[in-house]
Amino acid sequence: MAKKAKTSSSVKPGSPIPPTDKKQESLATHTVSDDQEFMTTDHGVRINDDQNSLKAGERGGTLLEDFILREKITHFDHERIPERIVHARGSAAHGFFQVYEPMAKYTKAGFLQDPSVKTPVFVRFSTVAGSRGSTDLARDVRGFAVKFYTEEGNFDLVGNNMPVFFIQDAMKFPDLIHAVKPEPDNEMPQAASAHDTFWDFISLMPESTHMIMWAMSDRAIPRSYRMMEGFGVHTFRFINAQGKSCFVKFHWKPLLGVHAVAWDEATIISGKDPDFHRRDLWEAIEAGQFPEWEFGVQIVREEDEHKYEFDLLDPTKIIPEELVPVQRIGKLTLNRNPDNFFAETEQVAFHVGNIVPGIDFTNDPLMQGRLFSYTDTQLIRLGGPNFHEIPINRPINEVHNNQRDGFMRQTINKGKTSYSPNSLGGGCPYQAKMAEGGFTSHAERIDAKKVRGRSRSFFDHFSQATLFYNSQSPAEQQHIINALRFELGKVTVEAIRKRMVGILTQVDKNLAAKVAEGLGFPVPKGPELPMNHSVPADGNQKNFEPIKVKSSIAVSKALSMANTVKDNIRSRKIAVLAADGVSAKSLDTLLKGLKAEGATPEIIAPHGGQIQTDQGTAVPVDKSLLTTASVFYDAVYIPGGGASVKALCTEADAVHFLDQAYKHCKAIAAEHDALPLLDLTRFAGKTDEGVLIGKDTRKLLQSFVAAVAQHRVWDRETERKVPA
């Protein structure tokens, strides 16, 4: 095929960055779609030989003159940029947001008015503690950061999958992160909180207790990014066109429900596929199974600011949904994978301070510190003040101001003026009046002394930790106990373990007793140390002791994942164990049935390639027993076909596959022919609502689908029949 050179007609020499009025287009400007293009150097010279360096003779030394080699290697040497200090490990996707109804009553934000407007978004999910190459399934908080490219500028909702945080004041953030990151002497452990320094810090920080309950719950080991809730954490403000403000908490509610894996499963996945969540998100989007979340708001009138037993400015507190219901006001859909991980996912720069008219901050002291941090971190990470010009960070509306120059400036500003006021530039750019969309801060009345301090209304550290624990199902409570036993079991200093269990006594006596039992010491009577070690200015420690508040509700249903959406199996991965001789009829009914439910079945066989059905037809194998494992699936089905089952019976890996699926509480369905295979497992002869046996594929499939929708049969764990 004749090669043609790419003409430069579309790119004028020295032309500025591409137009930004259409986000989709501008994001794709660097895609090289024409594979007939000639290879060139970074400066446009066509390359004749990309295989060999320039040498003094074929067996001679390489010449310094080789500008092509030097350019290529220099670029390579500089390919890495500093990873994020937190949330280094992440994956992202493009999508759009649509509001259901105009929200003008509460906010003038343009993207929350017109249901027909699709606001482009870019969403990055992440873990917090691990470095960029660490496993997705670390026990950790997940970041849930959404960049809305609105017509009025970018709004970044930089949240997490848990609604509270470890600390109340930004001053403690570096300490928290130093404590959780690998220890400084030996750089261990990677992406794990189960070590001395983390628990040393936490056991001295009673304000972290509520967050610890969340972080030790199954929320910290999600089944998928697509099955996580998201929270803005802080209380924000909405401002309407009349300038009236109300408080608002932001939520993301996944339409697939909130689901987790088992801890043992998480550790196995971490070894077998550290990219598990990244792959899951990518594959779902490629398969057209677009993840969706409803956007929720809890609205509190300004006059109700002090109505609750907790302070709305305290980021270690939720507003229970029973007190203020979550109104679902719109939907987020992720429908496009990034073209280039580095250009988009790695270079995206979120900032809590990116807000639009109609949204404003509160004085939450954690949020206030974040307002400083995010720009500062991008300066070092992205190398200068022009990171907003990187395509993924550009707003869709035009940018006009007098900021100039700096490393990697892309915009070629024209004219003589870069100051305001000016007359030489015709006064441009102009300030926008409020009615013209100019941002004005909410004129909050402030009358206070300048202090380094904390409000006493922040001093209740335990009542919502107890509320969370009491709201969990028995299985979830057991998982919290197990997690604490595991984490504290890895702590080498006994004093830290005891101090932490002392704190747990303030949450729930039974919880503390069970954790202590697992660790092998008697439960301490109560917290051991003065509960707050900061020194009050007046020296009176009493003023800093936690206060006890009784929560106005005892249980909140919304806090338990057991009460989540369980009515569908869309996008669930189903392992179909089969070998040569599988029943063509049952396989066909099964695959059609599962696909009709929106699930993703995969045929797993003793070998790759194809298997032959009992009718002699060939069926492609998706994975061999060697290349996959039960931890990658939500459930297992064994179709009929005597020869197929007989072959599987000789495969130890097939039996192990089933044992592991059982251990991790997954639904397992077997057609009658498959009983000999079940007989080889450790759960032979046992049925429960998740182990289903039947003759008729259609009927069996029906009960299987219902069981998979329940996600897990956690009750199975209490029997402990299948050893680790």
Q: Is 563 a catalytic residue?
A: no
Considering 30, 75, 78, 87, which one is annotated as catalytic?
Answer: 87
Minimum gap (Å) between residue 308 Cβ and ligand HDE:
20
With vertex at residue 522, the alpha carbon angle to CA 520 and CA 526, rounded to the nearest 5 degrees, is 130
Q: Which of 589, 583, 582, 623 is nearest to 603 (CA)?
A: 623
Q: Is 159 in the site for ligand HDE (CB under 6 A)?
A: yes
Minimum gap (Å) between residue 165 Cβ and ligand HDE:
4
Minimum gap (Å) between residue 23 Cβ and ligand HDE:
18
Q: Is 277 in the site for ligand HDE (CB under 6 A)?
A: no
Minimum gap (Å) between residue 381 Cβ and ligand HDE:
7
Cα–Cα dist 609/689, whole Å: 34
Q: Which of 160, 144, 258 is nearest to 215 (CA)?
A: 160
Minimum gap (Å) between residue 246 Cβ and ligand HDE:
20
Of 350, 459, 468, 469, the residue at the interface with ligand HDE (CB under 6 A) is 350
Q: Is 397 in the site for ligand HDE (CB under 6 A)?
A: no
| Residue 299, both tokens | 């609205």
Taken in order 58, 59, 65, 71, the sign of the CA dihedral is positive
Of 17, 28, 85, 722, the residue at the interface with ligand HDE (CB under 6 A) is 85
Q: Is 439 in the site for ligand HDE (CB under 6 A)?
A: no
Of 149, 165, 214, 250, the residue at the interface with ligand HDE (CB under 6 A) is 165
Q: Would you give the binding string for ligand HDE spanning residues 167-206, x where CB under 6 A is met?
A: ---x--x---------------------------------
> Closer CB to ligand HDE, residue 224 or residue 393?
393
> Closer CB to ligand HDE, residue 87 or residue 499?
87
Cα–Cα dist 117/675, whole Å: 55
Q: Would you give the binding string for ligand HDE spanning residues 129-148, x where CB under 6 A is met?
A: --------------x-x---
Cα–Cα dist 12/26, whole Å: 16
581 phi and psi, to 5 degrees? 95, 5
| Residue 707, both tokens | 């069981």
Minimum gap (Å) between residue 92 Cβ and ligand HDE:
7
Q: List, in sequence order, the alpha helices (H) in 382-539.
A: 463-470, 474-489, 494-504, 509-519
Cα–Cα dist 488/480, whole Å: 12
> Closer CB to ligand HDE, residue 369 or residue 384?
369
Considering 160, 161, 354, 470, which one is annotated as catalytic?
Answer: 160
Q: Is 359 in the site for ligand HDE (CB under 6 A)?
A: no
Integer distance in angstroms from the first to the last C-alpha of the chain?
Answer: 58
Residue 566, CB-side half-sphere exposure with 13 Å CA sphere:
15
Q: Which of 447, 493, 408, 3 is nearest to 199 (CA)?
A: 493
Q: Would you give the binding string for ligand HDE spanning residues 485-514, x where CB under 6 A is met?
A: ------------------------------
Amino acid at 448: A
Minimum gap (Å) between residue 468 Cβ and ligand HDE:
17
CB atoms within 10 A of CB 595: 11
Which range binds ligand HDE by CB under 6 A, 368-376, 550-558, 566-574, 673-681? Answer: 368-376
Which range binds ligand HDE by CB under 6 A, 78-86, 249-257, 439-447, 656-664? Answer: 78-86
> Closer CB to ligand HDE, residue 86 or residue 692?
86
Task: Note every long-range contact of 687-692, with CB atoms under 8 Å and residues 24 or more positions apart, other chains counting.
Answer: 688/713, 688/715, 688/716, 689/713, 690/665, 690/666, 690/716, 691/662, 691/667, 692/667, 692/668
Q: Is 195 a catalytic residue?
A: no
Residue with tokens 């009515």: 567
Of 26, 240, 373, 612, the residue at the interface with ligand HDE (CB under 6 A) is 373
Of 20, 107, 126, 209, the residue at the interface with ligand HDE (CB under 6 A) is 126
Residue with tokens 């199975």: 716
Helices first, then strands: H and E counts in the chain: 17, 18
| Residue 314, both tokens | 């305290």
Q: By CB under 6 A, name the binding residues for ligand HDE.
A: 84-87, 90, 124, 126, 143, 145, 158-160, 165, 170, 173, 233, 348-350, 366, 369-370, 373-374, 377
Which active-site residues does the annotation give?
Answer: 87, 160
